[in-house]
């Protein structure tokens, strides 16, 4: 089984939604991939009491899926996460490339970067729709039509 790693700042909203959506979309395919997600700067996740963003949970529900990892706390990325993944995506290049260069410089140029802004920049529906579109394109590249 190949592993894709989705990365965002706090592993609360964007990367968690991407992980869940990817895993739901590939569940009944022969694609041979599974997603995980991690935070690049979990210490910036201040004032959050939920394990997973309610916006991510409702975005999944709107797409007909139930979040399976809703009880899991956000998790910080570690070097081991890169050693065990086959592909990685950071959800917003301007935000995450500097964190990658600071914390995981050997991996900064070896991952894919998307352009999905966080909820403080764009409405959550726009961010979730962008992630959904990017995952569909990613799945086509991986050789599976997930619908």
Domains and CATH numbers, the chain: 2-142 (3.40.50.2300)
Measuring CA to CA, which residue among 1, 38, 39, 37 is closest to residue 22?
37
Tokens for 15, please give them.
Answer: 């990367």
Q: What is the tens place of the pLDDT at every residue in 86-129?
A: 999 999 999 999 999 999 999 999 999 999 998 889 899 999 99
Q: What is the tens place of the pLDDT at every residue in 33-54?
A: 999 999 999 998 877 766 999 9
Return d(Cα 7, Cα 96) in angstroms, integer: 8
Q: What is the tens place of the pLDDT at every residue in 1-16?
A: 999 999 999 999 999 9
Q: What is the tens place of the pLDDT at every residue in 50-77?
A: 699 999 999 999 999 999 998 899 999 9
The DSSP string of 75-143 is -B--HHHHHT-SEEEESBHHHHHHHHHHH-TTTTTSSEE-B---TTTS-HHHHHHHHHHHHHHHHHHHT
């Amino acid at each position: 089984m190949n592993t894709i790693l989705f990365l965002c700042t706090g592993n609360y909203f964007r990367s968690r939604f991407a992980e869940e959506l990817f895993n739901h979309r590939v569940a009944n395919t022969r694609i041979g991939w599974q997603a995980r997600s991690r935070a690049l700067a979990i210490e910036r996740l201040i004032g959050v009491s939920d394990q997973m963003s309610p916006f991510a949970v409702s975005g999944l529900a709107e797409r007909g899926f139930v979040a399976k990892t809703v009880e899991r706390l956000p998790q910080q990325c570690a070097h081991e996460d890169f050693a065990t993944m086959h592909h990685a995506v950071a959800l917003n290049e301007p935000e995450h490339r500097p964190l990658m260069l600071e914390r995981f410089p050997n991996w900064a140029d070896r991952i894919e970067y998307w352009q999905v802004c966080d909820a403080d920049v764009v409405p959550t529906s726009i961010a979730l729709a962008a992630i959904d579109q990017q995952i569909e394109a990613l799945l086509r590249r991986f050789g599976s039509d997930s619908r």
